[in-house]
């Protein structure tokens, strides 16, 4: 039975057993309605992502696309930059592949060091770490870690970049 409120109480009204039972019943009914409503996951009010400031799939994709272009531009710029540096390879593995390459400036200071690690049994390296050095070539100022995955033919299928 729906709650029936009494809104005309007077100072000298006597609160009866029926009044208290009605009030307590109203509290229980209200709590049940709140619980029922808050447990619903079907968006009963039709709230949109825009109304609450949430990211929409289209908005997220746009940000990914913009970031991808920025990353591609940065990598292209880096590849052009490395063309002007001398490369020194070291630390060959059992197959003769060098696992460390140092790129040095004209003055001999270290600009960037690339290190391969985490080889699988086929000597496919799962990680490449690029460390960039200060102008003196003595301290790392930034780094990019690449996680590399391969297919069953030992061909690279993904290179996932993370700034450190």
Does this model's pTM top 0.85?
no
Whether 5 is covered by a domain: the verdict is no
Residue 10 structure tokens: 């007077």
Q: Which domain holds residue 126?
A: 85-163
Residues 96 and 28 in one domain: no
Structure-model confidence comparison of residues 155 and 68, the more confident one: 155
pLDDT at 76: 67
Alpha carbons 102 and 82: distance in angstroms, whole number: 10
Collect all residues with Cβ–Cβ distance below 8 Å to 118 and sequence separation of at least 6.
Answer: 125, 126, 127
Q: Among residues 120, 118, 82, 124, which one has the least CA distance to residue 101?
A: 82
Whether 138 is covered by a domain: the verdict is yes
Structure-model confidence comparison of residues 48 and 130, the more confident one: 130
Alpha carbons 122 and 137: distance in angstroms, whole number: 34
Whether 130 is covered by a domain: the verdict is yes
Residue 73 pLDDT greater than 80, yes or no: no
Domains contained in the chain, number = 2
């Amino acid at each position: 039975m729906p709650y029936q409120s009494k809104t005309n109480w007077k100072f000298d009204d006597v609160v009866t057993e029926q009044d208290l039972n009605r009030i307590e019943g109203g509290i229980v009914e209200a709590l049940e309605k709140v619980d029922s409503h808050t447990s619903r996951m079907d968006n009963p009010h039709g709230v949109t992502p825009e109304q609450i400031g949430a990211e929409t799939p289209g908005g997220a994709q746009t940000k990914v696309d913009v970031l991808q272009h920025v990353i591609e531009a940065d990598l292209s710029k880096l590849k052009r930059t490395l063309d002007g540096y001398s490369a020194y390879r070291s630390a060959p593995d059992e197959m003769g592949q060098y696992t460390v390459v140092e790129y040095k400036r004209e003055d001999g200071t270290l600009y960037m060091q690339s290190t391969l690690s985490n080889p699988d049994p086929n000597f496919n390296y799962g990680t490449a770490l690029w460390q960039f050095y200060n102008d003196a070539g003595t301290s790392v100022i930034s780094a990019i870690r690449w996680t590399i995955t391969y297919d069953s033919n030992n061909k690279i299928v993904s290179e996932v970049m993370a700034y450190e």
